[in-house]
Structure 1
Amino acid sequence: MRVDVLTLFPEMFTGVFGSSILGKAGEKGIVSLNTVNFRDFANNKHNTVDDTPYGGGGGMVLKAEPIFGAVEHLMEQREQAGLGEAKKPRIILMCPQGKPFSQEIARELSEESHLIFICGHYEGYDERIREYLVTDELSVGDYVLTGGELPAMVVVDAVVRLLPGVLGNEQSAVTDSFSDGLLEYPHYTRPAEFRGWKVPDELLSGHHAEIDKWRRRQSLERTLTRRPELLENASLAPEERKWLERVKAERENPENPPS
């Protein structure tokens, strides 16, 4: 996979792209992580990338020319590399108005061969960038940051870790929270007892079927407690839904639990 990030602050990505899992993925040649300063594509002698909004109002708006120029430069590189006929890259705009990012979207993006992220600043983008250039708009939450760099880092990290060969244990990504629509079960490691707090007996039993059953029920119960809305679309067996109903009834009426 190739990932290009259009940003006014490429230095922000140096540590993130060169460290930990992302750094190792780059070293293995699984992913190529690149930054492009779109100020280099400004069409004026002062390299200005923003201007006042038509109609008035506060703040500055990112101009269309530098963004289009940077993307077109990347497309030319693809042509020179003989990739002109290959599947076009997804061009992703990071913005508060975008679709909420999720594990499902991360999995979808991990199947692409080329992603281009656009990190904005100031009041917003010239609307023609949205209309005529980007393929996707993503948001990492209902809040506003000073720029799109941190959200882009979040998305890139979530996507790259799903690529084959990136994680030391491929099973890790399979059992992550949200991978099956539920929150992940609790984890424990040595010692078996710490300050009087013991690891659940099921995990020490060595009985894999019982361990799987315990983990599944812990996942269901944790999701019920912390993110109950996720259960509405989760793929659950009839007996699991029945068990959850019993748990909810016990919580609502602990003095008279259902038989």
Structure 2
Amino acid sequence: MPDDAHADLLELAKEIAIEAGEAVLDVYDKGEFDAYQKDDESPVTSADYLANDIINKRLQAATPDIPILSEENKHASLEERKHWPRYWLIDPIDGTQEFIARSGDFAVNIALIENNEPTIGVIFWPPGQSLYYAQKGKGAFKSSPDGDHPISVRKLDDPKNSVVMIAISRRQSREKVLSRMCAKRVYQTLPLGSCSLKACFIAEGKADVFMRIGITGEWDTGASQCIVSEAGGSIAAANFEPLTYNQRHSLENPDFVVMGDQRVPWQDVVQYDDFVNPHQH
């Protein structure tokens, strides 16, 4: 696909993410929504469905030839998906639990996957009025009330000894996180909500690493991976193998790690001993 076509799709995704995010923010501000529990016991709300409806309708109208894979849609089988040269990968609200808890840490995620790789990533954080976006090979950017500017991961003064900032969940034990890190380093922690916001904070240099242990879907990392990679960082499974997209029957991710400065010996810093890969089961 030519660069100008990608640029048009990026602009479309940005516009739709903002539209869906503003609709979600209106619901959030009013506090008027219904919450449900899915079969896997994860939460979902009427705001998730509202955002999903907006995103699906806009994408289907503008790009009817590009399939959509959303967390809140019925998922096509691998037999059907494997023939897709490209598709939209959507998480209407990443951080539904944070939305319900009213922490403000939730975001709208839209990615374009081509040949099993994220090539466009858009993440809109409605309460922060911040839009993070990237196109493969074109860099990563943030648009906010302060303006529109490129972003990049933080370069540590000394990759082997500098203090490392870890983004952690608001509901995660700091001690448990630190127990998975090399004891020879010095760490600070930054509590945040959704996976994608932690990734965005690493992409713009506010944190250096984030570890996710537990069930997530490919829609939780697609947009983030494009943005973090274009900002100079990386996302990988917690055993440091690459994440995959649309290559397996399961759409679950393995445990994964988001890393900033690539000069840091992350395999020595992050020490997982309970790595879970759902694709092995």
TM-score w.r.t. structure 2 length? Answer: 0.23
TM-score w.r.t. structure 1 length? Answer: 0.24
Bigger strand share: 2
Higher-Rg member (1/2): 1
